[in-house]
């Protein structure tokens, strides 16, 4: 099963990076599939470890998907890494094998630690819509402007019906990002 998380890594200098990442969840082992041209991939290869953060804060998903935001964090316990301060729970990972294809890696990791701060209540439809909109916002180059606006309108309707302030703020952030992207003529 793939679980949507915020994956944190450090570079060799100790600078944290946060990225939304679906990981193949397991009790003793997890599989991370970053694209090979990403900071997450480079950091995992360089340091051999990372932290899987499970959070219900979709604003953090939106921000970390589209910018190099430094989210509040604290040191991990068992690996050289950081834990997202708002994580409900987390797992600390060490890389065991690296495989995959030319474009996307498949990195198997052993779970070596973790922690819990509060229960994860899950995602309602509004939170799910924000996550889907954030994924779309990272792939604007693959879609026409009309397709993007139609999808965003659909997601926004779901957020309006079932979301709260955090979800509305995240959708506004995603709309503004896409608007700036299209105005800049990057399509």
- Interior angle at CA 172, CA 51 and CA 10, nearest 5: 20
Model confidence over 152-172: pLDDT tens digits? 999 999 999 999 999 999 999
Give tens-digit pLDDT for 14-71. 999 999 999 999 999 999 999 999 999 999 999 999 999 999 999 999 999 999 999 9
Domain boundary among 70, 98, 116: 116
Res 187 pLDDT > 50: no
Structure confidence at residue 185 (pLDDT): 82
Does one domain contain both 51 and 89? yes
CA geometry: angle at 52 spanning 47 and 53, to 5°?
130
Which residues share a beta bridge with 16?
Answer: 10
Express as a percent the part of the chain with pLDDT over 90.
Answer: 97
Q: Tell me the pLDDT tens digit for each residue of 57-101.
A: 999 999 999 999 999 999 999 999 999 999 999 999 999 999 999
CA angle (16 as vertex; 15, 17 as ends), nearest 5: 125
Looking at the structure, tell me whether residues 10 and 37 fall in a common domain: yes
Same domain, 112 and 149: no
pTM of the model: 0.93
17 and 93 in a single domain? The answer is yes
CATH of the domain at 98: 2.30.110.10
What's the pLDDT score for residue 186? Answer: 59
Q: Are 58 and 167 in contact (CB under 8 A)?
A: yes
Phi-psi region of 45 (alpha: psi -120 to 50; beta: other; left: phi over 0): alpha
Q: Which of 33, 10, 8 is nearest to 18 (CA)?
A: 8
**Is the per-residue pLDDT at 117 higher than 90?**
yes
Q: Do 130 and 68 share a structural domain?
A: no
Range of the domain at 20: 2-116
Nearest-angstrom CA–CA distance, 98 and 44: 10
One domain for residues 135 and 80: no
- Please name which of 73, 69, 71 lies closest in space to residue 85, comparing C-alpha atoms: 73
Task: Verify that 77 and 161 share a domain, yes or no.
Answer: no
Are residues 11 and 72 located together in one domain of the fold? yes
- Is there a single domain that holds both residue 88 and residue 167? no
Average pLDDT, the chain: 96
72 and 109 belong to one structural domain: yes
Are 109 and 21 in a shared domain? yes
């Amino acid at each position: 099963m793939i679980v949507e998380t915020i994956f944190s890594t450090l570079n060799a200098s100790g600078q944290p990076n946060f990225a939304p990442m679906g990981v193949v969840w397991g009790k003793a082992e997890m599989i991370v599939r970053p694209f090979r041209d990403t900071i997450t991939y480079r950091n995992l290869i360089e340091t051999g470890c990372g932290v899987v953060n499970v959070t219900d804060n979709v604003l953090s998903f939106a921000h970390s998907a589209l910018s190099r935001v430094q989210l509040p964090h604290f040191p991990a316990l068992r690996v050289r890494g950081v834990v997202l301060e708002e994580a409900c729970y987390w797992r600390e990972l060490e890389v065991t094998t690296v495989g995959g294809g030319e474009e996307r890696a498949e990195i198997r990791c052993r779970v070596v630690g973790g922690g819990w701060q509060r229960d994860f209540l899950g995602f309602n439809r509004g939170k799910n819509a924000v996550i889907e909109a954030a994924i779309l916002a990272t792939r604007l180059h693959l879609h026409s402007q009309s397709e993007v606006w139609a999808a965003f309108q659909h997601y926004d309707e779901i957020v309006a019906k079932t979301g709260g302030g955090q979800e509305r703020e995240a959708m506004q952030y995603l709309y503004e990002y896409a608007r700036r992207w299209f105005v800049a003529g990057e399509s």
